[in-house]
Amino acid sequence: MAADDAVSRSVPAPASSPTIASPQVGGLEVRSVTKSYGRRRVLTDVSFHVPAGRSLAVVGANGCGKSTLLKICAGLVSPDRGTVRVHGRLGYCPQEMGLDGFLTSEDHLAWFGRGRGLSRRAAVAEGSRVAAALDWSIPRRQQVRHLSGGTRQKLNVTTTMLSDPGVVLLDEPYQGFDHGSYLDFWGLVDQWCDEGRAVVVVTHLLHELNRVHDVLDLSRTEVD
């Protein structure tokens, strides 16, 4: 799927209920996903495929369903119809940071690392490698509520990667980043793809679309 042909052709919705497949090595497949809130339709027959080693930017006007689509892919919101298949472990970085202001960054790494069976020391070591790629040294004792917004967002990205996901979903993950960290983030996206991960980034910064393999524009009312 080339960047100029990023919106997949719509197909009839399957008769079965929406499903999320058992994790296995691969990527992300979305077919004919439709979602409404009351009478307001936010997604209509959205279909795309992100194989391992590829990146996809999801763009579009405010309210066009970008964040809803990512939540559906993460299994947090059910579509009205359609299927989502995730092949491999999934990592999701939401806009709303699920961080506790009274815990330290290391506490968060230990907390999220437990889901993968990591010891505190192993989780901090692995998180420190991701943080270093964002030009950030993890403070040992400082509570998260005392960190800047951009630094909290770096922690958000770092905890997302602790599960060593094969599929990475990121909803405008660079909010509050300075220019250097912003560029570092896109360098990480390249690295994750080189490692064989499938990466989906919701973004409103259209000048960086050359940094991804494919683009899905949810503002388009017609599909090719």
With cut-offs at 50, 70 and 90, classify the pLDDT of residue 116: confident
Domain chopping of the chain, boundaries: 1-89+204-224
Region at 123 (left for phi over 0; alpha for psi -120 to 50; beta for the rest): alpha
pLDDT tens across 39-83, in order? 999 999 999 999 999 999 999 988 899 999 999 999 999 999 999
Say if CB 161 and CB 151 are below 8 A apart: no
- The per-residue pLDDT for 43 is 96
Whole-angstrom Cα distance, residue 180 to residue 134? 8
**Cα dihedral across residues 163, 166, 169, 173: positive or negative:** positive
With cut-offs at 50, 70 and 90, classify the pLDDT of residue 26: low
Say if CB 144 and CB 153 are below 8 A apart: no
With cut-offs at 50, 70 and 90, classify the pLDDT of residue 25: very low
The residues, ordered by sequence, that sit 6+ positions from 86 with a Cβ below 8 Å of its Cβ are: 20, 21, 23, 28, 73, 75, 167
